[in-house]
Amino acid sequence: MLPEVTHNYFNVNGIRLHVASAGRPDGVPVVLCHGFPELWYSWRHQIEPLAAAGYHVLVPDMRGYGESSSPPEIEAYTHEIICNDLIALLDELGYAQAIFIGHDWGGAIVWSLAAHFPDRVRAVAGINTPHAPAPRSNPFELLKRRPGRYAYQVYFQEPGVAEAELERDFERTFQLAIRSSRDTGPSNPIYRTHLALEAGAFLPDDAEYTPSDLLTEADVAYYAEQYRRNGFRGPLNWYRNMEANWQWARKTDGQISAPALMVTVGRDPVLPASMSKDMEKYVPDLKRGHIEECGHWTMQEKPAELNQILIDWLAQVVSA
């Protein structure tokens, strides 16, 4: 059951941003940022525990998703623009700072926020998504040469191709896309991302599949209903700005001064824990949490374990 959540809409940075919120308005603001292909709803298991711990929990549908605006232009989805959405949200709400927690693309955004807007970030946490400074060479050129497990990101580059696949049957897309690490069979696309270019598809082409073991029928229906609003173009456009994001990242040294948390998991083939091994070089005030028996969809696969890690860390940050 969802906690009591308020839904508001803010005109910020040229778009309408839908934000779900819960908890005390006078509490420390905690902003939860989702990734692909998700929604504010992907944090549904975290909202009530964080609100009960005394925080003002703010959970946007990120630009391109759900009830937020979804401009069609690729260049409307750079990290710089998305970070400015969140800074404008803080301004609209009258907050000088907030604690930002992100997963997947949302994780990349919150680390970018902490690097570019350190005065607005009280603390920052990445769930599965690590942080590192911008590499010297264009990472998109390397990705095209050696896509490996990120072949799906190259497949996503051509506008209209992945949209057509993922919008063919919204319920099927979410039944297949969001599955636990226990499901290692051919129905789980997280274990076949390296095949996306060869197959010309992100999802497996199986006529038969078992329902998601992470989503109820009501969850699937909600995701499908929300994605029917604007489809997948906005969410996929996040993948189509890699060079612009790299150029913007190069404008900082990549150092994160805010108190930080990195939560790794043991079974994410796309964002393995090993990717975070050198983070202390760039994030000196870093705490760590780890959930071994968990895959990519951490908030939904291991909510109790993640919530405890977050609440313990937040208490340390706020009391410091």
18-46: pLDDT as tens digits? 999 999 999 999 999 999 999 999 999 99
pLDDT score of 191 more than 70: yes
Across the chain, mean pLDDT equals: 96
Give CA–CA dist 51/4, Å, rounded: 10
- Domain range for 118 is 6-319
Q: Residue 55 falls within a domain, yes or no?
A: yes
Q: Which pTM was predicted?
A: 0.97
User: What's the confidence (pLDDT) of residue 1?
Assistant: 45
Tell me which residue has tokens 């959540």: 5
Q: Residue 1 falls within a domain, yes or no?
A: no
Q: Residue 20 falls within a domain, yes or no?
A: yes
| CA terminus-to-terminus distance, the chain | 33
Angle at 176 between CA 110 and CA 232, to 5 degrees: 55
User: What's the confidence (pLDDT) of residue 208?
Assistant: 73
The catalytically annotated residue of 61, 85, 104, 268 is 104
Whether the bond between 37 and the residue before it is cis, its omega within 30 degrees of 0, is yes
- Is 194 one of the catalytic residues? no
Domain count, the chain: 1
pLDDT in tens, 261-277: 999 999 999 999 999 99
Locate 212 and state its tokens.
Answer: 């998601």
Q: Residue 93 falls within a domain, yes or no?
A: yes
Q: Residue 17 falls within a domain, yes or no?
A: yes
Other Cβ atoms closer than 10 A to 320: 8
- Is 155 one of the catalytic residues? no
β-sheet with 29-33: strand ranges across = 6-12, 15-22, 56-60, 29-33, 98-103, 121-127, 260-265, 286-291
pLDDT score of 136 more than 50: yes
Q: Residue 83 falls within a domain, yes or no?
A: yes
CB-based contact 258:100 (threshold 8 Å): no
User: What's the confidence (pLDDT) of residue 207?
Assistant: 59
- Is 296 one of the catalytic residues? yes
The catalytically annotated residue of 34, 239, 268, 282 is 239
Q: How far is CA 192 from CA 41, 73, 174, 184, 240, in A?
A: 25, 29, 16, 10, 21
CATH code where residue 310 lies: 3.40.50.1820
Give CA–CA dist 97/11, Å, rounded: 19
